[in-house]
Amino acid sequence: MNILIKKRNQKKKLKRVFIILALLIAGVLVGRAAFAVFYSGEEGLSVERLVGVSAGLNNRVSFLLIGTDKRPGESSYNADSIIVASFDPKTKLISLLSIPRDTRVTLPGSKNYYKINAVPMLKGIPELEKQVTGLTGIKLDGYVLTNFAGFKDIIDTLGGITIDVEKDMQHVTGDKEDGYINLKAGVQELDGSKALQYARYRDSTTADIGRTARQQKVLTTAGKKMLEPATILKLPKLVPQLMKTVETDLSLKDLLTLAGAAKSFDDATIVTQTLPGDAIMLDGLSYWEVNRDKAKEVAGNLLLGQTADDIWDSSVLASLDPEVKARLAAPAKEDVIDIPEIPGVIVPKEGETPLTTIQTEQYAGTVTWLPADAIFLAGQKYTATITLVPKAGYTLKGVAADFFAVPGASTTRNAAGSGIITAVFPALPSEPAEPDESAEPAEPNEPNEPNEPNEPNEPATAISLSKVRGVIPPESGASPVKTITETEQYIGTISWSPADDPFVEGREYTATITLVPKEGYTLEGIGKNYFTVPGAAAANPAGSGVVTAVFPQKDKKLPGTE
């Protein structure tokens, strides 16, 4: 998703891929079923016969996949990954729903807030299952758990996996073991240790959202490799390894349902989804917040094979209860934004659609392109004006001049303490024209006929429309407008802070308006605080089309309006 960034959840048909079901369940399916047969005294009953017995089972099986940092002998641990896996034998649909580990929850008997990954340590797996069911509405039949050591052993037993690492990754995890992530960008073979590094990496831009996408990528790749012909030879070693590293409370009936369906996975459909939400700050701590009603809707749709359009959910802030909103409005501290690379804004490519919004855990943003082409065109130079709005708990105060970076831009500029970024991209290369062999060669100029000079460009006219129209004062329950009323001299976009949708009663709102001159007009020569916005105290620097309009609370009056 970027990573964030930009990992869109999409329906996939994968030939003979069990994904997580193969990696974490295969050993349990074969091993536990075989052991059940052995200990029951039915020595002549093969796993294949057990699979046949299960073929008549038609009920959906849903369970929790938990990756942990649990060490041998430890009874206390956090969940590093939490995924709801569901399989419907009737429709042959596999659904995988990732729950970001920073998801905010409350626990019975406590008024404090917790991250969902801490629930196993605080209350155990049964409480984690209750929390996940409460969030998603999906009834769970059990859980499957593996730890870091088990994950590494599984990958090593497979002989490693090939992954395209999208960027350099360095991070100190603080663990005594597996304590340092150090990967270079590019396609490479990863052993168990490096695959774990890749799956655990958490960058500051996309946080948990990028990590869940990488975990899905690792598991998908490992699932493919597990079912390669060469891997079959390793099964005698792989199955006992899985038995040692996987813990589950799924019933034998559920395991046999999965085993019986495995032979039909050739034409199974697999859909993946990260639970949509937004990054918030409460009392100085970051959480992934979800709209509880929408979470159940998204989870229910996923079981039908339908995925949400976006991971970032703009309805989250409006869904918070007043007590939480009050703590959002007054965070314990504000941290200076420290994500310099703007995610998702890449070099324009001919035929692609320009990106218009960005999201990170620290800020949201809008992107205005000039020229405002619906798709990028060859031979055209583009300028992106990016307007960042800090999220609760973060501030632009203290950000240095030219702090932000946009990969591929020839120049990137921002003023000190400003989230207004101008990124200029060089002209896209044009396809060379094919020579017309049938055309007559051009006649040379006569000696006495000089070449005609180029017509001089007309000078641009300074913008004369000072009143910005279409920026409607906030009304409780109304949705914020995102664009101004277009004029013959300029267009403009609007970003709001706080980023509520709809507006909340009793709050002060600031609209950051970015004006883009049309052809023939310029902002050069515009005076300081030239633009006005009805109902707001407006300000702009000299020569700038970035207008800050502060709308007071309804019970306050602007100076001079009494």
Instruction: Return the structure tokens found at 533.
Output: 């916005």
Q: What is the pLDDT of residue 105?
A: 95
Q: What is the pLDDT of residue 99?
A: 93
Share of the chain above pLDDT 70, in %: 71
Any bridge partners for residue 68, and if so which?
79, 147
E strands within 292-360?
335-336, 357-359
Instruction: Determine which helix (DSSP H) or strand (DSSP E) holds 222, and give its type and residue range.
Output: helix 207-226
Long-range CB pairs of 364-371, under 8 A, 24+ apart, other chains included: 364/388, 364/389, 364/391, 364/495, 364/499, 365/389, 365/419, 365/495, 366/482, 366/493, 366/494, 366/495, 366/514, 368/491, 368/492, 368/493, 368/514, 368/516, 370/516
Integer Cα distance of 509 and 457 in angstroms:
42
Integer Cα distance of 231 and 556 in angstroms:
71
List, for residues 230-271, the tens digit of each pLDDT value.
776 666 666 666 666 677 787 766 666 665 555 555 566 778
Q: What is the pLDDT of residue 310?
A: 78
Cis peptide before 240 (omega within 30 of 0): no
Instruction: Evaluate whether 12 touches 270 at the Cβ level (below 8 Å).
Output: yes
List, for residues 449-485, the tens digit of each pLDDT value.
444 444 445 678 889 999 999 998 888 888 888 889 8
List, for residues 319-372, the tens digit of each pLDDT value.
888 888 877 765 557 789 988 888 878 888 888 888 888 888 788 888 888 888
Q: What is the pLDDT of residue 403?
A: 93
Instruction: Determine which helix (DSSP H) or strand (DSSP E) holds 206, and give its type and residue range.
Output: none
User: Coil, strand or helix: which one is 214?
Assistant: helix
Integer Cα distance of 503 and 505 in angstroms:
7
Cis peptide before 459 (omega within 30 of 0): no
pLDDT confidence band for 38 (50 / 70 / 90) = very low
List, for residues 123-134, the tens digit of each pLDDT value.
999 999 999 999
Q: For 483, left (φ over 0), alpha (ψ -120 to 50), or beta?
A: beta
Q: What is the pLDDT of residue 162?
A: 92
User: Coil, strand or helix: which one is 285?
Assistant: strand
E strands within 148-233?
161-165, 169-172, 180-183, 186-190
List, for residues 158-211, the tens digit of each pLDDT value.
888 999 988 888 877 666 666 688 888 889 999 988 988 888 887 655 556 677
* Least confident among 9-23, 110-124, 182-196, 294-308: 9-23
Longest dimension (CA), the chain: 110
Residue 56 predicted with pLDDT over 80:
no
Question: What is the arithmetic mean of pLDDT over 15-38?
Answer: 35
Question: What is the arithmetic mean of pLDDT over 1-25?
Answer: 35
Instruction: Return the structure tokens found at 445.
Output: 């100029």
Positive/negative CA dihedral, 181, 187, 189, 192: positive
pLDDT confidence band for 561 (50 / 70 / 90) = very low
Picking from 334, 315, 291, the residue whose alpha carbon sits closest to that of residue 500 is 315
Residue 104 predicted with pLDDT over 90:
yes
Q: What is the pLDDT of residue 191?
A: 92
Q: What is the pLDDT of residue 357?
A: 82
pLDDT confidence band for 16 (50 / 70 / 90) = very low
Share of the chain above pLDDT 90, in %: 14
DSSP state string for 350-379: TTPPPP-EEE-SSEEEEEEEES--SS--TT
Instruction: Tell me the one-letter amino acid at 366.
Output: T
Integer Cα distance of 151 and 154 in angstroms:
5
Q: What is the pLDDT of residue 73?
A: 57
How many CB atoms neighbour CB 228 within 10 A? 12
Report the chain's mean pLDDT, rounded to a whole number.
75
DSSP state string for 515-539: EEEPTTEE-TTPPTT--B-TTSEEE
E strands within 391-525?
394-395, 411-414, 420-425, 461-462, 490-497, 509-517, 521-522
E strands within 360-478?
363-370, 382-390, 394-395, 411-414, 420-425, 461-462
